[in-house]
Structure formats: structure tokens, C-alpha cells
Amino acid sequence: MTKKVLVIGGCGRIGNSVAQDIANHTDAQVTVTSRSHKQVDSKFDFLGLDLANREQIKKAIASTNLVVHCAGPFHHRDGRVLEACIDAGVDYIDVSDHRSFYERVIKHNDKAIASNTTAILNTGIFPGISNSMVKQGIEEFDKPQKIHLSYVVGGSGGAGLTVMRTTFLGLKNTFSALINGKWQDTLPYTEREVIEFPKPYGKTGVYWFDMPETYTFADSFQVDTVITKFGSIPDWYNHLTWITAHVFPENWVTSPGGIEFFSKVSYAMTKVTDRFSGIGVGMRAEITGEKDGKQTKYCATMTHNNTAISAGAGTGAIAQLILEGKLQHPGIYPVEQALSTPLFNEVMKSRDININRI
């Protein structure tokens, strides 16, 4: 029988990339959703779905084998889609990109196990592929100690307004980071570092940024420090974002109207600069620790010329593995706790995504 996949938010840039990847790598019947009617690729079915309506959600997933939640930002999502999947015993994955969502839904872990529901969070590119890059490095150590994970994105990354909103939503909020064994309050877009990424990015500035990995890595791996830093190309975007985070009045940046204004202005700017900066992504994972009684370092990088497509590959790969029965772990997990390194390498190779150790 043909498996059925429901991609919630599948008409957005990231959701469409996920749907395309699933269609390219599986024989599943893919349905994409949006609140209003959209023209979609002929290979997909379309379903109008309002996430404010719990009955619509319940009905939408009733005859589905897998739900993929791509309707961000996830800062204020309450987990109702995951709860409905658990109640129905339907497997679930998402592209959630904020620790608060993980903290809200992990309380349903026991219920997910009891209903035999596999729920994997934080898939995509970062979080997502980045998490598995780090896991691969962690496995090289007897005693890993420090994770330093950096990301850089060209312009818009090929994504839409939702990703811009996600960036601005967290700029004024401190977050906890594990540093030298202690949780410390950290400000976004502080402590600039210049990191050497592979071509075409080269040396690029990155800044502290609140990512789910900052939180989940401390639970997934026995380390003392987890650093996650983000930057944009061209570099003057970083300086504009720093000004937004540290100079503009708080109510300008934290109000819904302010977030929408900055998101739309930024998106309009990237429509111009994308022609010069590209829309790709670069990631660098550096891990230090002990191996055979000696201090050593592991470093791996990854690049892709389209951030949205690579995010689709990260999530689509997890969907493929679940549909094929290769990834079944009842419960709720961040991706690094559910996906093994051999399976990660297998699905990345099939998508021509290379993780390079340097």
C-alpha cells in the first residue's frame, strides 16, 4: 500500500523543499497544506488546514502514515499537532528551530512511547544536518568536552519570510548556554568570532545565537561547553542585525508589528543581494576532547548552494527512513538522539551532500 505523508506548511519555501525531497526519494503520496488555497506542484495533493482548529488537525492526520510539521516559527507553537499525532499513533517529524518548543512538547514523551509514535524534532539543516555532523564527531572521542558549531547563510538562504521572522523573534531574549560546566545567561548576537568556512564563504563573522542544539546537545552528549554561532553574508547584514539587537529600543524589536517590519525589510533587501551573495549555507563543527589519553580536536564542514533545499534534504531524509521502517524509536527525540551515524551517512550520500573532515 502507498504510504501517505502530510506536510503541514508544505506551500512555504522550506515546506515545499521537504515535500519535493520526499517525492524524489520515496513512493509516498504527499499532501501539502496551507491556511488558504494555493497552486501546488501536480505531484502533490493540497489540503486547506488551519492549525487553530484542532478538529481539522485531527481529521487531516486520521488516514496519514507520517506528519511533517513545517509551519513555523515554532517559538509560539503549542505542540497540538504532535499531541494529535500521538493520540492517533501517527509518526511525526518537524523543522522546529527553538528550544522553547522542545521544552513544551517533551513532557509528552511517555505518552508517545505508549502509543508507539516516533516523533523526531529539529530536523532540517540547522538544526538537523548540523546535529548529526556533531554526533559523528562526538563518536571519535573517549571524552568529548567542547562543541563549537557555526553556521553562515548567504542572503535569504532561498527561504521565505518565516525564516526572517524566526531570526528577529529571538534577538532581544537572553538564553542559557552551557559553558565550562555551568549554565550561563547569554545575549544573542554577541561575542563575534571570525570563522574559516570552506569556499565560497571563507573567513566570516559569526555571533552567539539561540538554537535548539545549544540546549539539546547538553542532554545528548556528555560535554562541558556548547557554543552555537550564526552569521550572514554579506557581512554588513551582521552589523545591521547587531544594531537591531543592541541599539534599537526593545519595543521596536519585540512587538509583533516590529518583527513583521524588520522581517519584510530584510527580505526585500535579500532579494537584491541574493544575486551577489548566493543563497547557500556553510557549517563548521569543531569538537575538542580526549582520545587515548590525549587532547585532540575534530573538525568537519558542510556547504550547499541552497539553504532551503538542504533543509528539505535533512527533513526529507528522516521521512524516508521512517517510511522505509529503518528509523523507528517510539518517543520524542531531537534528531541527534534518534538518527545513527551510519544511517545519516547513507541518506546524505544519496542526496550528494558531503560532510568533509578537515
Q: pLDDT of 318-358, one tens digit each?
A: 999 999 999 999 999 999 999 999 999 999 999 999 999 98
Q: Please determine, for residue 185, whether its predicted confidence score (pLDDT) is greater than 90.
A: yes
Say what the pLDDT of residue 27 is.
97
Say what the pLDDT of residue 345 is.
97
Q: Please determine, for residue 170, whether its predicted confidence score (pLDDT) is greater than 80.
A: no
Of all residues in the chain, the percent with pLDDT exceeding 90 is 78
Q: Please determine, for residue 151, whether its predicted confidence score (pLDDT) is greater than 80.
A: yes
> Could you report the per-residue pLDDT of 222-244, keeping only the tens digit for each?
999 999 999 999 888 888 888 88
Cell of 303: 556547504
Tell me the average pLDDT across 152-158: 88
Side chain identity, residue 24: N
Cell of 92: 511525526
Say what the pLDDT of residue 270 is.
86
**pLDDT band at 156, cuts 50/70/90?**
confident
Torsion of CA 336, 358, 214, 307, to 10 degrees: -80
> Could you report the per-residue pLDDT of 279-315, keeping only the tens digit for each?
999 999 999 999 999 999 999 999 999 999 999 999 9
Side chain identity, residue 302: M
Lowest mean pLDDT among 50-54, 175-179, 268-272: 268-272
**pLDDT band at 186, cuts 50/70/90?**
very high
- pTM, 2 dp: 0.93
Side chain identity, residue 225: T
Side chain identity, residue 191: E
How far apart are alpha carbons 117 and 332 in whole angstroms? 8
Report the chain's mean pLDDT, rounded to a whole number.
93
> Could you report the per-residue pLDDT of 38-52, keeping only the tens digit for each?
888 899 999 999 999
**pLDDT band at 73, cuts 50/70/90?**
confident
How far apart are alpha carbons 112 and 106 in whole angstroms? 10
**Residues whose CB is less than 8 angstroms from the CB of residue 308 and which lie 6 or more positions away in sequence, other chains included:** 13, 14, 17, 157, 158, 159, 279
Q: Please determine, for residue 252, whether its predicted confidence score (pLDDT) is greater than 90.
A: no
Domains of the chain in sequence order: 4-124+308-357 (3.40.50.720), 126-307 (3.30.360.10)
Lowest mean pLDDT among 13-17, 176-180, 212-216, 256-260: 256-260
How far apart are alpha carbons 147 and 294 in whole angstroms? 17
**pLDDT band at 171, cuts 50/70/90?**
confident
Q: Please determine, for residue 254, whether its predicted confidence score (pLDDT) is greater than 90.
A: no
